[in-house]
Structure 1
Amino acid sequence: MSAQNDALSSYAQAVQTVAERLRAHPGPVVVLSHENPDGDALGSVLGLARALRALGREVFVPMEVPRYLRFLVQEGEVIPALAEWPRGALAAVLDVDNNDPTRVAGADLAAFDGPVVNIDHHGTNRRRATALLVDPSVPATAMLVADVVDALGAPWSEQVATPLMLGLNTDTGSFRFDSVTPRTFETAARLLAHGARLGWINDNLNQNPRSYYLLLREVLDTMEFLYGGRVVLARVDGAMLARAGSTWEDVESYVNLLRGAEGAVLAVMVKDYGDRVKLSLRSRGGVSAQNVAVALGGGGHVPAAGASLPGPYAEARQQLEAAIAAELHRAGLEGAGTGALAE
């Protein structure tokens, strides 16, 4: 119990330190997250930015928001990537390790010499910042931001609570993943009490353009069932997008569809850009998507991770297969056999 109390005390202190740094900074705050932002990245950024603005602070949010999340963004709330940093700025980096500037989008963090606040829930975070709040035990960065908003003393409103609910909802798979804890529901209840529009969020997330379904038809034709059906893989390339009149944004949710295949413990969605390959990974049943991603130079969480590989797909496929085989062996599933299942 003492260790648990110490952990809670340490967490509370980190929340207060981050909030005090944000509250005391006299200049503008630039709120950033990772490239290709997901619901947790956008929700965390908007939740914190709106809370700071409610306190009268000058806030910049440079972000390219994907189509499927634009329903949450208000007119003029986000701006294009910064060409230069505002004088006297503080950088608040959310849902990504600030020590990996190649993944931080919206501004050149490597060229920034001012204070940095980092709020994140990835276990691979290297924990280096002026003020730091990192907790891999929580399923979404939005949960951490909610505690920071409380510590800031910012006024709660539907406009602050709803984006944080988006982050919590999306990173837990609508509260279906094993990462969900009693604390997750406690945070969700707080956000609902502050007016978060959960039903509205889900209704908007479930709407897809025609191109999404035209592309999905092509993607399903590429599906492979490997290792006795324990691994499900599909691929998309630029030619498929052109035929469907689609964009890369339409691909984002396909990996979760693959994960739903009965008997699958690992789902892999391959984005084939020609000169490079990007992988989205989802896992269950003791298999770690994170281990596969890390072996390929990427990162993420145990059930959800990703990696990017240079070169053509044929080369990346060999590396991917080696990483998958190693992880299945570690999980005691190497006896499942290899190769695609017969129809």
Structure 2
Amino acid sequence: MTRTDNGGPADYPAQVQQVAQALRQHSGPVVVLSHENPDGDALGSVLGLTRALRQLGREVCAPMTLPRYLQFLPEEGELCGPLEAWPDGALAAVLDVDNNDHVRVGGANMSSFSGPTVNIDHHGTNARQADALLVDPSQPATAQIMVDVLDALGTEWNEHLATPLLLGLITDTGSFQFSSTTPTTLRTGARLLEHGARLNWLNEQRMQNPRTYYTLLREVLSTLEFTRGGRVVLARVDDAMLERAGAGWDEVDAYVGLLRNAEGAQLAVLVKDYGDRVKFSLRSRGGLSAQNIAVALGGGGHIPAAGATVNAPYPEARAQLDAAVSAELARLDAQTAQEQTL
């Protein structure tokens, strides 16, 4: 069974079996969901489970609206549009997001669902409330947990299952560059390759950018700020910029990784300014916690990658961001000073 090298729940194997049993024994339709604005881990995990359950003869519906850069992976008809009503006798399998976070779960209204729920996630902020639960923040990606779930389901491994799960793994590890990458992570990636995962094809697809990526990049760079002595780098996108570039909101997320590569920056912030609300995408390194900042703003995520939405115009939201950043920098500086005196 796949395990990370950072610990995790002592009853992890039992949780895997509980989740697999709940999925295997449910005779009705299964609705597989993830978070809004899905990334590669969300899509990869959803496709991995959806394909495995269909291999077992289950009726599955996977409501998901994809950004442009991920539309290469699903086959025609594999995903469906948002549910207007829950199927009779459905089980909800919610992946890579807390099933109780009704705002972030995409594709269906969880607040109106009263049936059984399975939740598989790797976020430490998960409330851990589901009928069958598998939450392990020590895992670098939900896709890595899904490898264990598919093993427990007894599915037959092939390229069709391995490729989307490899996408999830490389997405949330930054192509195995992030500190969350462990020997187990690499072994999992190797195992998926042995099952036929198309690594080169995935990378070729992921590296292709539409022309609007570059026209919007010009707009994004015009807003670039280096603050706190270069420790923080920030850029902003709004509707007017998208209109000038001929781009859409689903093309914006990739820029936060570009900002993160700024030399000396411990925090990268990409601002999506919707006018009446603002979404912050945060990436951090060097001991600084993007998660702490996001939680202070009402959001969540991981220590190196997190996000939050503030329901206020940008000037007000920016003031809240600056306060949260100041608090986190003060915490980090105090910790560093204490370590230096030991």
- Taking the aligned partners of 2:76 and 2:152, their CA distance within structure 1 comes to 28
Identity %: 68
C-alpha deviation, 1:44, in angstroms: 0.2
Aligned equivalent of 1:49: 50
Alignment of 1:279-298 (within 5 A): 279-298=280-299
- Taking the aligned partners of 1:172 and 1:333, their CA distance within structure 2 comes to 29
Deviations 1:198-256 (A, max 9, x none): 11111101101000100001101110000110100000100000000001111111001
Letter in 1 for 2:62: V
Letter in 2 for 1:121: H
Aligned equivalent of 2:340: none
Q: How many residues align?
A: 331
C-alpha deviation, 1:155, in angstroms: 1.1
Aligned equivalent of 1:158: 159
- Cα contact 2:9–2:136 (8 A) shared by 1: no
2:22 aligned counterpart, secondary structure: helix
Superposed CA RMSD: 1.5
Alpha carbons of 1:219 and 1:334: their partners in 2 closer, same or farther (altered >3 Å)? Answer: farther
Deviations 1:89-139 (A, max 9, x none): 100000000111111111111111110000000000011100000000011
Alignment of 1:49-198 (within 5 A): 49-198=50-199
Aligned equivalent of 2:207: 206
- Cα contact 1:139–1:168 (8 A) shared by 2: yes
Deviations 1:19-42 (A, max 9, x none): 011000010100000000000000
- Cα contact 2:48–2:164 (8 A) shared by 1: yes
Alignment of 1:190-339 (within 5 A): 190-332=191-333
- Taking the aligned partners of 1:226 and 1:33, their CA distance within structure 2 comes to 34
TM-score, scaled relative to structure 2: 0.95
C-alpha deviation, 1:333, in angstroms: 7.5
- Cα contact 1:281–1:289 (8 A) shared by 2: yes
2:329 aligned counterpart, secondary structure: helix
C-alpha deviation, 1:310, in angstroms: 0.9
- Taking the aligned partners of 1:290 and 1:274, their CA distance within structure 2 comes to 24
- Taking the aligned partners of 1:7 and 1:95, their CA distance within structure 2 comes to 16
- Cα contact 1:63–1:105 (8 A) shared by 2: yes
- Cα contact 1:255–1:281 (8 A) shared by 2: yes
C-alpha deviation, 1:334, in angstroms: 11
- Taking the aligned partners of 2:335 and 2:307, their CA distance within structure 1 comes to 22
Letter in 2 for 1:104: V
2:264 aligned counterpart, secondary structure: coil
1:133 aligned counterpart, secondary structure: strand
- Taking the aligned partners of 2:8 and 2:205, their CA distance within structure 1 comes to 37
- Cα contact 1:96–1:125 (8 A) shared by 2: yes
Deviations 1:281-316 (A, max 9, x none): 000000000000000000000000000011210111
- Taking the aligned partners of 1:334 and 1:226, their CA distance within structure 2 comes to 21
TM-score, scaled relative to structure 1: 0.94
- Cα contact 1:325–1:334 (8 A) shared by 2: no
Alpha carbons of 1:329 and 1:7: their partners in 2 closer, same or farther (altered >3 Å)? Answer: closer
Q: Structure 1: 5+ residue runs without aligned partners?
A: 336-343
- Taking the aligned partners of 1:209 and 1:296, their CA distance within structure 2 comes to 32
Deviations 1:172-191 (A, max 9, x none): 00000000111111111111
- Taking the aligned partners of 2:213 and 2:60, their CA distance within structure 1 comes to 34
- Taking the aligned partners of 2:209 and 2:102, their CA distance within structure 1 comes to 32
- Cα contact 2:8–2:136 (8 A) shared by 1: no
- Taking the aligned partners of 1:198 and 1:43, their CA distance within structure 2 comes to 13
Alpha carbons of 1:223 and 1:7: their partners in 2 closer, same or farther (altered >3 Å)? Answer: closer
2:11 aligned counterpart, secondary structure: helix
Alignment of 1:15-30 (within 5 A): 15-30=16-31
Q: Which runs of 4+ in 1 moved over 2 A?
A: 6-9
- Taking the aligned partners of 1:108 and 1:7, their CA distance within structure 2 comes to 30
Aligned equivalent of 2:339: none
1:98 aligned counterpart, secondary structure: coil
Letter in 2 for 1:85: W
